[in-house]
Amino acid sequence: MKVDFKNINANHIKAGSIFYLYGNYKKTFDVFCNFVCAELRKKSQNIKVHFCSVSESLQIINEQCDLFGMEMDCFFIKNVEDQHLEKISKFFNEKNSVFVLESGNYIKSKKITDYFLKSEAISVASFANDATLHSLCRMIFPNISQIACDEIVKIIDNTDEELYSVFLKISLLLDGRNWEDLKSYAVHKRSLLGGLDLIPLIRFLLQTVMRERILKSANFSKISIGNRDAIHHLLNAELMQKFGSEISKSYVYHKLITDQN
């Protein structure tokens, strides 16, 4: 079943769901995985995340013995090709798991892409064009204007920064309704956060996490700070920097949206 990014919502993300991303634009995978995690955690905190191969995922499934366990497994699997077709068919029997799969080499994944397009799984096209970016933007920020969506696509088109990092920064800007900052980001190819040194950036992000976790303030975006230990990681990153360990901003962003538990 083919569905565009913009049409995916919380109702699609539940136990037993299977998503298959296909096309030549691989940057959407991490963004979509974070989106899925954020939606699942709104329903339950008992989520176990696995970034693994097809074979590794089957091994994890086979090793599970607790038939009454309440924990949901979420499998994120890249490079799915025709050779995996028989193995992947077993995923449809897993009723307490969620799978996000990404196609591999185009030539080696034609059959499996055709299989998913005809199956009950949700197949999402991800190609290197503005249509995909607009659709992805609508999924993450469903309530923004067309003008703002156009600005975000311009930002993505004019940067080589990792896509999940771009969306995280933009979500923080939009959380405060800083439309002028968003426009400036597009024009100058940098954001309000991009101009901060590492320590001020970490402290700004700490305030954001505490506002979300402690004060329960509303988050305008659908992209979430997914790591349950985000405050711990930010404080540790500040200490590492102060004691001479060189860390990058991308390291900080990755720690925020990736749940290591």
Look at phi and psi of residue 11 and say left if phi exceeds 0, alpha if psi is from -120 to 50, else beta.
alpha
What does the pLDDT read at residue 82? 96
Q: Could you read off the pLDDT of 167-219 as tens digits, one per residue? A: 877 877 666 555 555 666 555 544 455 566 778 777 777 776 766 655 444 44
Summarize pLDDT for 76-93 with one digit per residue, the tens: 999 999 999 999 988 998
Stretches where the chain sits below pLDDT 70 are 65-69, 173-196, 208, 210-228, 250, 253-261
Task: In the chain, count H helices and then E strands.
Answer: 11, 5
